[in-house]
């Protein structure tokens, strides 16, 4: 039986995959069909963020309802194991996000189109989040 925090991580991963997948399906085909100025990406990026937040909220509520008895019986939300796993996953996600931010900064310094810097940050942040969630999932499954 998975714990509440593990269910929350799963919910965040599902939301991230849905939002990022939707965004990439909408934007990537436009890159080959014409000039970069004609690519519609700002609205799609905002919709992807809304998809992520809405999915996260809905799945978090579902996880809380499914874990209600477990949380009441334990009288705690997490334990030492959860803290270690959260720290480990957040550290890996943070390292990935630092690399993404550095790449975006280089793109800006080189005066590349804002499309590339914005998309590096957006897609990179989603992938950094998935990295964090994957490390947490492996830690839960690996028996930390």
pLDDT band at 11 (very low <50, low <70, confident <90, very high): confident
pLDDT tens readout for residues 54-94: 998 998 888 888 777 766 666 555 578 888 999 999 999 99
Task: State mean pLDDT over 45-51.
Answer: 96
d(CA 30, CA 46): 17
- Residue 48: which of 122, 107, 109 has the closest Cα? 122
- pLDDT at residue number 1: 45
d(CA 61, CA 13): 15
Q: How many domains does the chain have?
A: 1
pLDDT tens readout for residues 93-130: 999 999 999 999 999 999 999 999 999 999 999 999 99
pTM of the predicted model, to two decimals? Answer: 0.83
- pLDDT at residue number 77: 55
Are the CB atoms for 129 and 12 separated by under 8 Å?
Answer: yes
Q: Which domain holds residue 60?
A: 4-142
The total number of residues shown for the chain amounts to 144
């Amino acid at each position: 039986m998975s714990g509440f925090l593990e269910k929350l991580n799963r919910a965040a991963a599902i939301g991230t995959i849905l939002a990022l997948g939707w965004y990439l399906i909408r934007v990537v085909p436009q890159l080959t069909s014409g000039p970069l100025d004609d690519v519609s990406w700002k609205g799609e990026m905002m919709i992807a963020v809304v998809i992520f937040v809405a999915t996260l909220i809905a799945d978090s509520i579902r996880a809380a309802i499914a874990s209600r008895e477990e949380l009441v019986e334990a009288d705690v939300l997490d334990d030492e194991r959860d803290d270690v796993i959260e720290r480990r996953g957040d550290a890996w996600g943070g390292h990935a996000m630092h690399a993404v931010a550095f790449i975006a900064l280089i793109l800006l310094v080189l005066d590349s189109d804002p499309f590339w810097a914005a998309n590096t940050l957006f897609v990179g942040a989603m992938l950094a989040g998935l990295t964090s969630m994957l490390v947490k999932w492996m830690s839960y499954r690996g028996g930390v």
